[in-house]
Structure 1
Amino acid sequence: MRTLNLKNIRFIPVAAIPWIIWSIAGLYYFFEIIIRTLPSTMSSSLMHIFQINATSLSVLTSFFYYIAYTVMQIPAGLLVDRYSVKRVLFIACLSCVFGFMIFYSTRNYHLAEFGRLVVGLGSAFAYVSALKVASVWLSRRHFGFATTIMDSLGMLGAMFADDILARINIDDGIQSSINILIVIGLFIAFLIIFVLKDTPESQIKNKNQTRLSTNDKTNIFKKLCLIGKNPQIWLVGIVGCLFYLPSAVIGDLFGIPFLKTVYHLSRESAPLCMSVFFAGWIICGPLFGAYSDKVGKRCKPLVITMLIEAILFSILLYTPLITGHKVPEYLLYILFFFMGVAMGTHPLVFAIAKENYSNKIAGTVVAFTNTLIMLSGLLITPLVGYLLDYSHHSLDKIGVPHYTMANYTFALTLIPIALIICVIIMAFIKETGGLKEETEQKYDQALEMLNRM
């Protein structure tokens, strides 16, 4: 299928083409995050529709999504490293739309689980593909900035779900949001198949060759062994997993019900507060990425912001219980904004991971790292749901559990503990921001040696 040649469009500068190509992959990530986050705006409705508790809700919306997402991360990385990113991403986008339609069109709990599983399968390719495209189309010195822009796009998607779609749900009903998202998903699929290109023309050695010149043909098992034998990748993945908890637990599912229960925010104000959290991430994430690229430091910004996040989240969580007074609503918005700011360094963990290896296996490295990170949603979000159910002792009129301030404080204490563990582990992670091209050459040589074996 013919792809639109952006060079033939006069008003598009040649220097902007790599960023436009990369932004199409980023747009799919934006869409995927909307689909991932949307259940948080209707958690109470889902609990009443399916007559389930917090554990079952987190299993439905998080476990089935993240089990597919996590299991497919490494296969996704291998596929985008070996085959056409365009075709892989097009199929993934259609799968995501299909699963989304199943999830919101059924009242059968098990069919909804299947729909969420399909959404997870399609979503697994979003972040990996976008960073693979970035590694091919953008220069090495822009990679840290690109990863933070990617996360900002994701947070913009979450903000879109928590604010705009939440308001549409209130005013016009859930079906209006569903129809809007189906149209957006199909439009992105159109852009992927007709505009996205696998590689710049300057990198194509043979015009009849359809695969990326940067693709790696190393045996899959050998490639994973090369990645897995480096202890740094495991430490980076664990840190990324634990540091992502505020987003996975609060942003994806329990943030809005927490604010409604503990701080008595209205159903309009609670989503707005979560949107402010994502806004802080959106605004400051790229600034952290640009700063990190400029000074050649990844670890120091991460450690500082992890400590800030732990302090701010502890203020949010423990102030009502310890003092008996709630944080005023206007201060809540400020608190959530700076919590989002602190989360803006999270994508630097991908930069650290990628800079330990060659661009030829960038997709697999990102996928390997993301597999570890997504354990936050796969295991810890359901654990928070279980802790809520373990500590609650009351039901509402139709038998759905009613959770109190003490229940949420008990369950969400996992987050500040995880952030402190992150800071400790960071002491064992080596700085990569100042590494030069010799690192890539080193791993290119390692790949060649593996191919000869």
Structure 2
Amino acid sequence: MIGCVFLPFVAGYYLSYLFRTINTLISGQLSADLGLDAANLGLLTSVYFLVFAGVQIPIGTLLDRFGPRRVQSVLLMIAGGGAALFGASSGFLELLVARAMIGIGVSAAAMAGLKAIVTWFPRERIALVNGYMMMFGALGAVTATTPAQWLLEYTGWRGLFELLALGSFASALLIFWTVPEAARPRVSQPTARELSAIYTDRRFWRIAPLSASCIGSAWSLQALWAAPWMTNVEGFSRESSITRLFIMALGTSGGALLLGTLADWLRRRGIGSEALFGAVTVLFVGAELALILRLPLPSLLPWIVISIVGAATVLSYATVAEYFPRELTGRANAGLNVLHFGWCFIVQYGTGLILDQWSVQEGHYPIIAYQVAFASAVGVQVLALGWFIFPWLGSLGGRLAKFFLRDPEPNRAPVEASATSAEADVLEPEDEDW
């Protein structure tokens, strides 16, 4: 099962992470070779997330109907074609189409792997195998830093994408030839009632804005805007920035396993994933504010926090799974994925649009431009965090009110003898909680 199921799908998920984050490494060369401004660069990178989000729900239906082996094989061939076109492109429109093809091609990487694990592995091992798949897949973000930089010195960004095209084709063939064919149950189309049960659920819309705004922003920063911030705002050299991106990628890989293990440990002590996710998002907002305000601490620390939050889907998916019956959790997670990648698109493209409101000074945008762009995303996260914790605050307020308004002297002296028995009953109610 490890050799014929787990590793082939991990290879596809690894490529998905690599394609997601590679543009942050080649952004400078793309801008120099093709004359791309910040807005075009943001759109080029973020179109991956836009098409990724748009096909999540249809991909879920295809996986249920045709199985992960066939769907993932076909899609990785599309990703390989997109990578080949990207490496051969000479204009912005060609790059945009190629990047969109890559996004479609790897759109099923995570869900296909999870579907395969559920299909072939014992139920009691699923959670552990899921954690390992996310951890190994996130090594694609590690490869998109220092190792890819070594290749760039010999191949250039065009040659690098030709190699990624070959890797995608090889992964598609590996899955098609190696993974066994599973019996496919007859799957009906999702009914309007089932979808309505998800998208009208208050609990879903309580966590979805926070999950999308935080995780989507973390992906956006790591995939594109972290490198320009490090070089233009913090003044690091390209080599130092790549080293920090490498450490961040390791943080994402280790963060998936860390958060999953911590959630399991807390659950055994009566603390659910929802509470841990809320705490993680508070740390995320604090890390972003530390960068924006240029607080006097090592900037690598908040960047590591940001990278770990990129793996916090482990918590939000687990939380959504607690809200719905098992037969609806796949569609609920797909709906949450749409919001994750949709917000990532908005942040990546929107950051470029905001930066373009300032003139380039000494070869880069001024610091204030980056601060305003990053702060705009943080503002949305703060609102989502308030919406998320509001029910807890209301519950806490009710408990405090009950505590302070209760009788401070429940064992009061008897009423005066002149009071009638009826008056005594009114003055001394039998409710012990009064």
Q: Is 1:298 paired with 2:273?
A: yes
Q: CA deviation at 1:87?
A: 0.6
Q: Which residue in 1 is equivalent to 2:290?
A: 315
Q: Is 1:26 paired with 2:18?
A: no
Q: CA deviation at 1:108?
A: 1.7
Q: Which residue in 1 is equivalent to 2:407?
A: none
| TM-score, reference length from structure 2 | 0.81
* Distance (Å, rounded) in 2 between the aligned partners of 1:234 and 1:177: 41
Tell me, yes or no, if the aligned pair for 1:148 and 1:344 is still in contact at 8 Å: no
The higher radius of gyration belongs to: 2
The correspondence of residues 249-268 of structure 1 with structure 2, limited to 5 A, is: 249-268=220-239
CA pair 25-383 structure 1, distance change in 2 beyond 3 A = same
Q: Is 1:427 paired with 2:389?
A: yes
Q: Which residue in 1 is equivalent to 2:66?
A: 83
In the alignment, residue 281 of structure 2 is paired with which amino acid?
A: M
* Distance (Å, rounded) in 2 between the aligned partners of 1:277 and 1:429: 34
In the alignment, residue 315 of structure 1 is paired with which amino acid?
A: A
Q: CA deviation at 1:150?
A: 4.2
What SS does the corresponding residue of 1:403 show, helix, strand or coil?
Answer: coil
Q: Is 1:269 paired with 2:254?
A: no
* Distance (Å, rounded) in 1 between the aligned partners of 2:58 and 2:7: 23
Q: Is 1:113 paired with 2:96?
A: yes
Deviations 1:35-61 (A, max 9, x none): 121111111221223322111111122
1:188 to 171, 179, 191: 171
Deviations 1:12-56 (A, max 9, x none): xxxxx2696244323211101211211111112212233221111
Deviations 1:161-212 (A, max 9, x none): 122112321354224422432232122112211222354xxxxxxxxxx41x
Question: What is the aligned residue count?
Answer: 388
In the alignment, residue 275 of structure 2 is paired with which amino acid?
A: K
Deviations 1:390-434 (A, max 9, x none): 2x12366xxxx731211111111134334433433333689xxxx
In the alignment, residue 383 of structure 2 is paired with which amino acid?
A: I
Q: Is 1:387 paired with 2:362?
A: no
* Distance (Å, rounded) in 1 between the aligned partners of 2:210 and 2:118: 23
Tell me, yes or no, if the aligned pair for 1:148 and 1:348 is still in contact at 8 Å: no
Taking only the aligned residue pairs, the percentage that are identical comes to 19
CA pair 304-52 structure 1, distance change in 2 beyond 3 A = same
Q: Which residue in 2 is equivalent to 1:70?
A: 53
In the alignment, residue 288 of structure 1 is paired with which amino acid?
A: L
What SS does the corresponding residue of 2:280 show, helix, strand or coil?
Answer: helix
Q: Which residue in 2 is equivalent to 1:50?
A: 34
Segments of 5+ residues of structure 1 without an aligned counterpart are: 1-16, 200-209, 321-325, 431-453
What SS does the corresponding residue of 2:138 show, helix, strand or coil?
Answer: helix
* Distance (Å, rounded) in 1 between the aligned partners of 2:181 and 2:201: 29
What SS does the corresponding residue of 1:49 show, helix, strand or coil?
Answer: helix
Q: Which residue in 1 is equivalent to 2:365?
A: 403
1:133 to 116, 140, 155: 116
Q: CA deviation at 1:358?
A: 4.2
Tell me, yes or no, if the aligned pair for 2:86 and 2:158 is still in contact at 8 Å: no
* Distance (Å, rounded) in 2 between the aligned partners of 1:67 and 1:341: 23
Q: CA deviation at 1:302?
A: 1.0
Give me the CA root mean square deviation.
2.7
In the alignment, residue 201 of structure 2 is paired with which amino acid?
A: N
Segments of 5+ residues of structure 2 without an aligned counterpart are: 393-434
* Distance (Å, rounded) in 1 between the aligned partners of 2:80 and 2:333: 24
Q: Which residue in 1 is equivalent to 2:317?
A: 350
CA pair 135-359 structure 1, distance change in 2 beyond 3 A = farther
CA pair 335-150 structure 1, distance change in 2 beyond 3 A = same
Q: Which residue in 1 is equivalent to 2:424?
A: none
Deviating more after overlay: 173-182 vs 235-244: 173-182
| TM-score, reference length from structure 1 | 0.78
2:334 to 367, 374, 398: 367
Q: Which residue in 2 is equivalent to 1:39?
A: 23
In the alignment, residue 46 of structure 1 is paired with which amino acid?
A: L
Deviating more after overlay: 109-118 vs 352-361: 352-361
